[in-house]
Chain A
C-alpha cells in the first residue's frame, strides 16, 4: 500500500476520534495521546479502526512503537505489505 494511502487512512481515523484537532497544528513527533487529547479508549478505537481498514494485527505489545503520529506512520509502513 502506498505511503499516501496509509497516511490518509491514519488522518481519516484520527479525524473521526478528534475532529477538533488539525493535523497541521500538532507536533508529529509528540506523544499522540497528548497531541490529539485522546484517552486509552480512543487509542484502542484508533488501533481497531486502522487494524481493520489496513488488515494489520497491530498487537498491544507493539503499542510503544505507535507513540507519536510519525511513529504510528512508520509502524504502518513497516508492517503493511
Chain B
C-alpha cells in the first residue's frame, strides 16, 4: 500500500487544496497518470501518481486545504488485498502526516515531507462558500458561521469580505490568484537570496548563425511547424550540461545531488503578472522540433492556468529569456533547490568584429547565476562559453 501525497511544488509551497479527483476508489491507476487536481498559489496543478495499482480510498475530502506531504489517498499495489476496514470506516478528519519510521525509509518516503503538521480541525463550510472565500481572499477559519452547527455559508463570506474591506479584490487571470502568486515568488526568491551564495557571469554571443538557421528551417513551413529561437536556447543549454554537470541538479539538506537527467525549467510569464518555470523533461535527448512542441504545449497550458505537479518540481536548471521586447541583459535569481539559472537578454544589433572588419551583427547577452556551494566562476565561465559555442553550431543541436 502506498500513499498518494499532497506534492511539494517547490521551496515556496506549504499547503494545497484538493479540488478534483479524476479517479474513483477501485479504479486502476498507472505511474504517471493524473489522478487529482490541487489548487495552489501557482494555480490549479494536476498531480500524477507514482505507482501502478488501484486507488484504494480517499483520505481527504474535496476542497480541503492540507499541508504538503499529507496523504490524499492510498494506492494498493497490484496483488495486494483491499483495505476493507479502512474504506468502510465512517469518514474521519484527515489523518495527520506521519513521519516515516527510521527503519522503513524507502524511495517513496525520500520525497520531501513537512516537518511540522498543522491541524485546526475540519472547518464546517459549504463548497460554494469555500470557493467564494478563495475568490475574495477571506480566510474562512477566521469567520463565525451562521449555518447549521456553526457551518460557514455564502452570506458569512460576504460579511467577512466586507469587514476585511480589501483595497481591491485579488486579481485573477485565468486560473491564477495574483496575490498568492506574488507571495509564492517572494517566498522562493527570499529563500534563494538568503541561502544561496550566488555568483554571476555574462557573455555576449553572436546570434547571426542561430537566427539564420531558424529562418532557413522555418521557410515554407506552416506556422505550427515553425521553431522559435527559444527552443534553440534550451537545446544549447542542455547540450552544455553534458560536460558541466554541476549546474544541473538539486541542493537539499546540505548536499548537492546532480540531476540524473536534465529537465530544463522554462520561465514563462503570465499575463497580468507572475511567472512559473515548468520543466521540459529529458531536454538532452529531445530533438529541436520536440523541444519546440513541448514549449508550445507548456506555454498554452500555463496561459490556461493548468499544468502538472512534476513539471514544477522536476526542473534541474532554469532558462529565462526576455524575448524580443526587453533589455540587453538580466541577472536572474536561482530557483531553489536548483543551483543555476541561465538568463537570455533581448537580441540587439551591434557592431561586431568578424575577421578584420567591424560589421553589424545580431547579438544576445547570456548570463549565468550559479550557486557557490556547488561551483565556482572558473567552471561557470566554461559552462556559459559552451552555451555560446553551441549557438555557433545550431545545426548540431
Mark A residues whose CB is within 8 Å of B: 18, 20, 33-34, 37, 39-41, 44-45, 47-48, 51, 57-61
Quick one: which of A33, A37, A40, A59 contacts B271, CB cutoff 8 A? A37
Does the CB pair A40–B222 fall under 8 Å? Answer: no
Q: How far is the CA of A60 from the CA of B227 in the complex (A)?
A: 10
Interface stretch of the complex, out of B133-141, B212-220, B253-261: B212-220
CB distance from A38 to the nearest CB of B (A): 9
Q: What total of A-B pairs shows CB separation below 8 Å?
A: 44
B 238-273 contacts with A by CB, 8 A: 269, 271-272
B214 nearest in chain A by CB position:
A60
Q: How far is the CB of A1 from chain B (nearest CB, A)?
A: 19
Query: Whole-angstrom distance between the alpha carbons of A77 and B361 in the complex?
Result: 34
Name the 6 nearest CB pairs between A and B, nearest first: A48-B223, A60-B218, A39-B323, A47-B223, A41-B299, A51-B223
Which residues from chain B contact A34 at a C-beta distance below 8 Å? Answer: 325
Q: How many residues of B contact A (CB 8 A)?
A: 23
Chain A contact residues: helix, strand, loop or mixed? helix
Give me the interface of B with A, judged by CB distance under 8 Å. Answer: 173, 215, 218-224, 226, 228-230, 269, 271-272, 295-296, 299-300, 323-325
Contact status A60-B224, CB under 8 Å? no
Rounded to whole Å, the gap between the CB of B121 and the closest CB of chain A is: 40
Partner of A20, one of B219, B228, B271, B296: B271
A44 — which chain B residues lie within 8 A by C-beta? 223, 226, 228
Select one of B173, B215, B271, B296 contacting A60, CB under 8 A: B215
- In the complex, the chain A residue whose C-beta lies closest to that of B227 is A44
Indicate which residue in B215, B272, B324 contacts A61 across the interface (CB closer than 8 Å): B215
Residue of A nearest to B223 (CB): A48
Given contacts A20-B271, A41-B299, A61-B219, contact A33 B226 (CB under 8 A): no
Per the bound structure, the CA–CA distance linking A48 and B230 in Å amounts to 17
Q: How far is the CA of A34 from the CA of B326 in the complex (A)?
A: 11
Contact A33 B223 (CB under 8 A): no
Contact status A40-B324, CB under 8 Å: yes
Provide the residues of chain A in CB contact with B173, threshold 8 Å.
Answer: 20
Q: A33-B325, A60-B215, A60-B218 are in contact. Are A41 and B223 (CB under 8 A)?
A: no
A58 touches B324 (CB 8 A): no
What is the bound-complex CA distance between A45 and B302, given in angstroms?
A: 14
CB-CB under 8 A for A39 and B324, given A51-B223, A60-B215: yes
Question: In the bound complex, do residue A20 and residue B215 qualify as a contact, i.e. CB atoms below 8 Å apart?
Answer: no
Contacts of B218 in A (CB 8 A): 60
The interface residues of chain B lying within 8 Å CB-to-CB of A60 are 215, 218-219, 221, 226
- By a CB distance below 8 angstroms, the chain B residues around A37 are 271
A45 smallest CB distance to B (angstroms): 8
- Do B223 and A40 have beta carbons less than 8 Å apart? no
| A39 to B266 Cα, complex, angstroms | 14
| Inter-chain contacts of A48 with B (CB < 8 A) | 222-224
Contact B224–A20 (Cβ < 8 Å):
no
- Given A20-B272, A40-B230, A41-B228, are A57 and B222 also a contact pair (CB < 8 Å)? yes
Residue in B closest to A57 when the chains form the complex, CB atoms: B222
Complex Cα gap A39–B271 (Å): 11
Known: A20-B272, A40-B228, A44-B226. A59 touches B323 (CB 8 A): no
Complex Cα gap A8–B349 (Å):
36
Interface pair B271/A18, CB less than 8 Å apart: yes
Docked pose: A49 CA to B48 CA in angstroms: 31
Q: Can you list 14 A-B pairs with a CB-CB distance of less than 8 A?
A: A33-B324, A34-B325, A37-B271, A39-B324, A40-B229, A40-B230, A41-B230, A45-B300, A47-B223, A48-B222, A48-B224, A60-B219, A60-B221, A61-B215
Given the known inter-chain contacts A18-B271, A48-B224, please indicate yes or no for A40 contacting B323, CB distance below 8 A.
yes
CB–CB B224/A59 < 8 A: no
Extra inter-chain contacts (12) besides given A57-B222, A58-B223, CB under 8 Å: A20-B271, A33-B324, A39-B324, A40-B324, A41-B299, A44-B223, A44-B228, A45-B296, A45-B300, A48-B224, A60-B226, A61-B219
B226 to chain A, nearest CB (A): 6
* A57 to B226 Cα, complex, angstroms: 12
